[in-house]
Structure 1
């Protein structure tokens, strides 16, 4: 692991913020690293308010979108709410459809089938709309690149409103309205909304015409928080406000579908991390293993018993997904070893029998293992489909785009993308992708990096310090859990390998001339036992959390890495 200590902020700024907030230097430093330099900045950060949400009409085409939906409601038109099959898409469909149904009876939902339609707007979905007399489709978390399909629908008399957050292509679809803060011609102040977040802004705009404020829409924010966590978007600006209030809803009054998931895992107080690792995989499992409609049904269900039934089914899908992704990951690792591809700067693997629903998870696991830009391909109809994952600070979207001559369709973000291509182009694409990454990647990025916020002593870790630290949450990109480094540490003699297979490390750390002692736990760090076992000083990188044991709560160090 590469340890990178973030630059220290200018001392005058630290001192000024310390004085303004009456906090210690470490806290002031952490805040300045997050762009918080004044009392007012800190107030917005520590006390998120719904008043901090932007006016939705600042988004380009919002007025057109609202006018078209109002017209559809007035004329009693059939409205089809269409979204992608992942967490962001299904939560967005659940949010939009449940809101519109409070005002209009003729609202229906459509999630494309991952296997015969693929990602985004499909001709099959448009034909469904035509056959069932839908004159308006609201597309969520997809559509920004569906130029031909939107044009096709227009010729059939079907209007589109697109709510997307992916990067547009060269041409914007000719829909009635295209809401996407990443449009170059959109001046919306916050660019990092997820698809469900863009959908929420449309709901906010519609509700404002009825004299309602964001406060009247908090019941929908649990869906937005789930999407923010699952889609790994920055948790700053508007996303921080929506995640903060969405978590409050999840923890106090969740909708029956989310409550049913939480009951299965016996979780009480959820963080964004729990949303990512507990809620999101279960919602996702429906679209991966069966059909995304199951997830929407769960999220909009208003009967508790029925929600529990859906959640039980989805939990079974999740168990199947785990087994499947474990098996495919093992096969992919074997393929890499047999083909002796460890020396390449990219990982690109393919098997026609791999389950399309889990190749994104497998790509993530391979990235963790080899730490290289990764694509996992499988057969999908008469084409190959892939999920792509990247390493930190490398834009895989740009790398894929540079190989577009071999690609049929692609879309995504800096760190995650998807694409399809013809089978005969696979080898040529694989080599072009390797060549592009070799040309453009900084070789340092191929070694995992730990970014360290501050170097501190154990004496700096006090109950008051941790109370303030807890208020930095919710954590995520742009506001990651603070990571600290301390050197001259010594194990007090109780260090040992723990766990059923002794793969974890547990020790009690102190420093010379320090009265502070903290238990430190390092998951999957049993192989570093020798570093701490001989009584010699060592240094550690860690975050701080709480450990509850027999009713007692104590602060502990959650180790990230150790060095002699």
Structure 2
């Protein structure tokens, strides 16, 4: 796929030069920092040395005092408390965090996860009735509830109070809960607005600890869950989130909870989970190796840990993921992780098979007419993976995509968008054909009558064709700065590495070099390339790894000049570490 490079503007050079001198880094690194709002020595100190003492007081959040007062009252009155969370990673980690903490100090607490297919997203009537019928007097909703006005009113009518903990944008009317904790409330002065749902749950427990005098050190043990939620929910890794993610990753790399440890071992795939259960010595060796490696990053959560936690909620019931996350015994966790791993394997099969069918349908459609959009419907596609399939289709056919399937005699689907195109607004223009829809700029969900699918497909195409421009038709690669190859050394890399954790709001730096050519080119597994690049006037010839670039072999072999975009990474093989350039794109003259 051809990328459009968007090279960031140079930061103010006086600021760059001053910062470069003050913290003793080269101008390229100083430019990266200034573009990340690091302008002074103190900014740099705060950036490179995240400090848990600098996270905000939870009582700055609107309604926090009311939430804590009601929670303490429930415990004093020995009322039953339900911790209610959604079925995705953010929801299940939120429940594991709040329920896991409260259940250690209070016996009358339980958790509830709605069924994706019977109850749908968020607070459900079934969940509210279950709480009332089973004697719960307080529900703490996590990662959901901010728009559950009718459900919260129903709970109040049935004698159940609500504390809503959410991070989504509220509507004009807030639910009639005892307390509504959401930093995105217009009347909330909390300084940081981008917490994950699990992050809001963490602030609730932080406030409870401060108010009741419980051991504050226990909070650190919750941060592995917060880091997983931050990574999987793709919230910005800036400000308070960056501090929480930093210490959460530290926890994941040094002493993760057994459930996450089991998922990390599953993600590595070097030993079967059953083998580790049966061989204690082997398990101990693997656990020691994990501690010595200390290589878990945000990307590992996104691609290895998160999808495994998500799998239960996509295909079966997310309760299994919560039980795994709160497990306190590694052998029990390995057994539960094995079940989750089986579900994740089934999810992958659904994903691959449906993606293959979808791509075949798009290719057939292209023969008849080239479209600006993709809207596909098939009644037997699995509802739990259609969002993933939409993303996969965009990887191959870069355009706004909606994948629909049949559920409860309706067509229901997931929408995904391309860079800077607002798919939610486009869907809104088709609202006359929909029963319901919701979402944001890049992702949405929708439901319609089966009879409306064809009309929706045509209207959505018309709306998008009218709105879309040339800048939306190619994926964008954001490039930070030009880098001379002689700058690629361990001093440079070690400072670069300290700029993590990387993610939205703080992406891993991408550099470019112009007018280079390749030498010593090798093809790996018929798909990938390994080569050295040469730049006139530069002594260093770094090794490049280019996944999926095998089709460029002949052009590279011809010594044709090209521009290259890359990340600087460390590769360790047989206990020897070297720096390599991870190729993002190549543009020939």
The TM-score with structure 1 as length reference comes to 0.96
Which sections of structure 1, spanning at least 5 residues, go unmatched? Answer: none
Superposed CA offset, 1:39-62 (max 9, x none): 111111111011221111111121
Task: Tell me if 1:416 matches 2:443.
Answer: yes
Name the CA shift for 1:159/1:426 in 2 (closer, same or farther; >3 Å): farther
- In structure 2, the partner of 1:104 is 106
Is the CA contact (8 Å cut-off) linking 1:78 and 1:136 kept in structure 2? yes
**Which one of 460, 463, 467 corresponds to residue 487 of structure 2?**
460
Name the CA shift for 1:427/1:183 in 2 (closer, same or farther; >3 Å): farther
- In structure 1, the partner of 2:372 is 345
- In structure 2, the partner of 1:323 is 349
3-state SS of 2:352 partner: helix
CA distance, structure 2, for counterparts of residue 399 and residue 64 of structure 1: 40
- In structure 2, the partner of 1:309 is 335
CA distance, structure 2, for counterparts of residue 319 and residue 97 of structure 1: 28
CA distance, structure 1, for counterparts of residue 436 and residue 172 of structure 2: 14
Superposed CA offset, 1:117-144 (max 9, x none): 1111111111111221112111111111
CA drift of 1:490 comes to: 2.0
**Which one of 492, 496, 499 corresponds to residue 522 of structure 2?**
496
CA distance, structure 2, for counterparts of residue 402 and residue 528 of structure 1: 42
Task: Tell me if 1:512 matches 2:539.
Answer: no
CA drift of 1:421 comes to: 3.1
CA distance, structure 2, for counterparts of residue 556 and residue 256 of structure 1: 34
* RMSD of aligned residue pairs (Cα, Å): 1.7
The range that moved more, 312-321 or 397-406, is: 397-406
CA distance, structure 2, for counterparts of residue 553 and residue 325 of structure 1: 35
Task: Tell me if 1:556 matches 2:580.
Answer: yes
- In structure 1, the partner of 2:57 is 55
Name the CA shift for 1:157/1:435 in 2 (closer, same or farther; >3 Å): farther
Name the CA shift for 1:317/1:507 in 2 (closer, same or farther; >3 Å): same
Name the CA shift for 1:446/1:85 in 2 (closer, same or farther; >3 Å): same
Name the CA shift for 1:439/1:193 in 2 (closer, same or farther; >3 Å): farther
1:189-268 aligned at under 5 Å gives the runs 189-212=191-214, 215-266=217-268, 268=293
3-state SS of 1:170 partner: coil
3-state SS of 2:177 partner: coil
The TM-score with structure 2 as length reference comes to 0.92
3-state SS of 1:532 partner: helix
Is the CA contact (8 Å cut-off) linking 2:267 and 2:305 kept in structure 1? no
Task: Tell me if 1:298 matches 2:324.
Answer: yes
3-state SS of 1:102 partner: helix
Superposed CA offset, 1:400-453 (max 9, x none): 344444444444343223233333443444444434433444431220111110
- In structure 2, the partner of 1:363 is 390
Task: Tell me if 1:373 matches 2:373.
Answer: no
- In structure 1, the partner of 2:570 is 546
Which sections of structure 2, spanning at least 5 residues, go unmatched? Answer: 269-289
CA distance, structure 2, for counterparts of residue 429 and residue 123 of structure 1: 30
Name the CA shift for 1:430/1:151 in 2 (closer, same or farther; >3 Å): farther
CA drift of 1:497 comes to: 2.0
Size of the aligned set, in residue pairs, is 561
Task: Tell me if 1:524 matches 2:526.
Answer: no
- In structure 2, the partner of 1:144 is 146
CA distance, structure 1, for counterparts of residue 169 and residue 414 of structure 2: 17
CA drift of 1:487 comes to: 1.1
Is the CA contact (8 Å cut-off) linking 2:434 and 2:447 kept in structure 1? yes
CA distance, structure 1, for counterparts of residue 135 and residue 436 of structure 2: 29
3-state SS of 2:508 partner: coil
Is the CA contact (8 Å cut-off) linking 2:81 and 2:136 kept in structure 1? yes
CA distance, structure 1, for counterparts of residue 19 and residue 261 of structure 2: 41
3-state SS of 1:8 partner: coil
CA drift of 1:249 comes to: 0.7
CA distance, structure 2, for counterparts of residue 450 and residue 416 of structure 1: 20
CA drift of 1:158 comes to: 1.4
CA drift of 1:519 comes to: 0.7
CA drift of 1:153 comes to: 1.6
**Which one of 283, 298, 310 corresponds to residue 272 of structure 1?**
298
